[in-house]
Each structure stands twice: as structure tokens, then as C-alpha cells.
Amino acid sequence: MCDTCGCNQPPDAVTYRKPGGHDHPHRHGDLEHAHPHEHPHDHGHPHDHDHQHDHDHPHDHDHGGARRLAVEQDILRRNDLTAERNRGWFEGRGVLALNLVSSPGSGKTSLLERTIRDLRDEIPLAVIEGDQQTLNDAERIAAAGAPVLQINTGFGCHLDADMVRRALAELEVPAGGVLLIENVGNLVCPALFDLGEHAKVVIISVTEGDDKPQKYPAMFAAASLCVINKTDLLPHVDFDVEACKDAARRVNPALAFVELSATRGEGLDGWYRWLRGRRAAAAR
């Protein structure tokens, strides 16, 4: 599987940068060299090789003819295996990892900036930023005071587990802290790609339609928490909070909700309470 999708771009089209950092070809060199020990894992297919040996028999018998071979493999197996490795990485360090997903413009970065400013003395935070282009979001996060790595996916529409694995080699994620992964703004594709996170947080702003959960059910079904952002704008827009929640609950009855305004600060307590609770659970 390629790192990205929809574009046939070469793997090195995906870049990993820090604000004020070096040029990315250099970083790619670092990444390659930083993981000589990864290769034994990649080559660790003694199990597969056994199968290959077993299958030599039918091969001999059916030689030359048309035949059907059973496969029964998950298409996303490589992503899912890497996601499990990431999960182990987080578990070993007691890190809570959250995957923040939404459409573009819902206020993900503003929520992160505010969270970092409010919690940085209490909880060690680190951020992975996913965007197709630019270092803009990483610069905002760095200015707010958290270590950050920007992944630019080129034309890719989502982050995948391998991108996060590479980012973890570059980013200092403090043990016992919280890693906030801001996915590419897209309510469709990121739902399918497990990054190894503990939970997906879906963010919807009141300037969007309150029927988003019905229109993009897979994302709301995959999330643990739904943040309804920009509540300060409610008097000016036609957004029914309860209708939105009802629609989301029909897709995912276990979904929790927090209503807040990241820019005005209303309702942030609920978000921080949820974050602290999940962090305590991840540290156990």
C-alpha cells in the first residue's frame, strides 16, 4: 500500500517537517537511518514462509491449469498492523493518543491552540499536524508552546498509520503525556484508517449543517467523542444542537458530546474533563 491515495505520487512526496526545521530531504535521510531495527520486523514472515511451503503441493498438482486460490486477507492489513505497532508504542510510554477528525474549517487547530495554552503546565502535550500542504498549522501549534511535527500528505486525503509511525521517530512525545493528531480535514477517508490512537474525536462547528452525522455516518460511528465547536455563533446560525446530537446518536449510541467555543472559551471544562479522564485510563 502506498503512503497516500488517489494520486500515484511517490512515497517521498509525503514530507515531515518542524517549524524552523531543516529541509525535508535531510529529514528523510534521518528517518531511514533512525530505524535499521525496523527491517527485521518487516522481514519477520517465518509464518508466511511456512504457508508458502505448504502451498507448494497444490502447485505441483495443478501445474499449468487455471485455478482459484483462497486469500481471505483484509485489504487494510498493512495499515492495521502498523497501527497496532503504534498502539504498542503509546502503551509502552503511557501516552494517550487522540485522532482529531473533521471537515476543513471546523476549528481543530484553534481548539488545539487553546488546549495547549490552558493545559501545558498540567499535561505534557505534543501534536502531529496533517495537511496536504503548508506548515501554517504547525507554526500556530509551536507558537502556542507544544512540540509539533507537520506531515504534508501532498495530494493524500488522510493520514495513515505508517505516516504516524514515521512522525513518532521525529517528534519528542513526552512519556505520560497526550499526543493530539490533527488529521487532514476530511469527513470521509480518515474514518477508515486506524492510526493506533486510543480514540477518534470528531469536531463539528455550528456553521456547518446539523445533519452532518447523517451525511457522513462512518466518521461519527467511528468516533468516541463529538465536539460541537463555535457555540458562540449559535444566535446567528440555523443549527439545532439537539437535532445534531440525535442524528449522531442514531449512528453511534455510545458517542459522548461536548459543546464549546474554542475562541471564546465557553464549555472547555467539559473537553478538559474528558481529556483528563482518558489520560488517566491510558496511564493505567
Q: State which residue, 92 or 254, has the beta carbon closest to other proteins.
A: 254
Stretch 82-141 residues interacting with other proteins (CB under 8 A)? none
Contact flag: residue 44 with other proteins (CB under 8 A): no
Q: State which residue, 188 or 241, has the beta carbon closest to other proteins.
A: 188
Q: State which residue, 234 or 251, has the beta carbon closest to other proteins.
A: 251
Q: How far is the CB of 245 from other proteins (least distance, A)?
A: 13
On whether the CB atoms of residues 264 and 232 are closer than 8 A, the answer is yes
On whether the CB atoms of residues 89 and 82 are closer than 8 A, the answer is no
With a CB cutoff of 8 Å and minimum separation 6, the contacts of 91 are: 282
Q: How far is the CB of 171 from other proteins (least distance, A)?
A: 24
In angstroms, the first-to-last Cα distance of the chain is 34
Q: Are strands 199-205 and 96-102 parallel, antiparallel or unpaired?
A: parallel
Residue 233 DSSP one-character state: G
Stretch 178-237 residues interacting with other proteins (CB under 8 A)? 188-189, 191-193, 213-214, 217-218, 220-221
- Residue in the block written with cell 486525503: 157
On whether the CB atoms of residues 156 and 75 are closer than 8 A, the answer is no
Q: State which residue, 11 or 145, has the beta carbon closest to other proteins.
A: 11
Contact flag: residue 264 with other proteins (CB under 8 A): no
* CA atoms of 8 and 177, how far apart (whole Å): 36
Contact flag: residue 71 with other proteins (CB under 8 A): yes
List of residues contacting other proteins (CB under 8 A): 1-2, 4-8, 51-52, 55, 58-59, 65-79, 157-158, 160, 188-189, 191-193, 213-214, 217-218, 220-221, 247, 249-253
